[in-house]
Structure 1
Amino acid sequence: LHLRYQVENVPSRSKACNVQVYLGIQWLKSTKQQKRISKNIEAKLTEHLKEIFVIAQKEFLLAKPLEPLHKGQSI
């Protein structure tokens, strides 16, 4: 199972971002049920990722905005 996601800020909206998720399934051995299993994995993972990003969105909206760092200031 290969999973990659990319989060980008949306410049036109200050509190928005675009999330793209890429999913790949690689089989080591073939099976008769491969297509059905792949669809099931995709559906369950899609549902799970939506839940994760909804929670992340809620936490982001409730978070206190960070103040910009000044020159020479560390985190």
Structure 2
Amino acid sequence: MFHAYFGKIDENLPLYDIKTKLENYTMFPPYLSYIKSVNTIIGFTKHKTFSDIVEFLKTNNKIRNFSYNLVLDELNRNKIPQHFE
């Protein structure tokens, strides 16, 4: 989904590194640092929340609804302001 929003993700950017690690280590839950990094990146987009990004992409794409309760729980548990909803 981020590829559709950001276009080609440069291999030298942190988002590419996080994406690669998450794809390679699916048997482990994501580290809080990855969640925080993606959350921060989302906060700096012009749409400001992941939900807004999904709605923007739905205008020209068929995108299903996502639940990110586990991410929200982790951010809330650590008292980190979230940019998903």
Q: TM-score, normalised by structure 2?
A: 0.22
Query: Which has a greater percent of helix?
Result: 2
Query: Which has a greater percent of strand?
Result: 1
Q: TM-score, normalised by structure 1?
A: 0.23
Larger radius of gyration: 1
Q: Which structure has more RCO (C-alpha within 8 Å, separation ≥ 6)?
A: 2
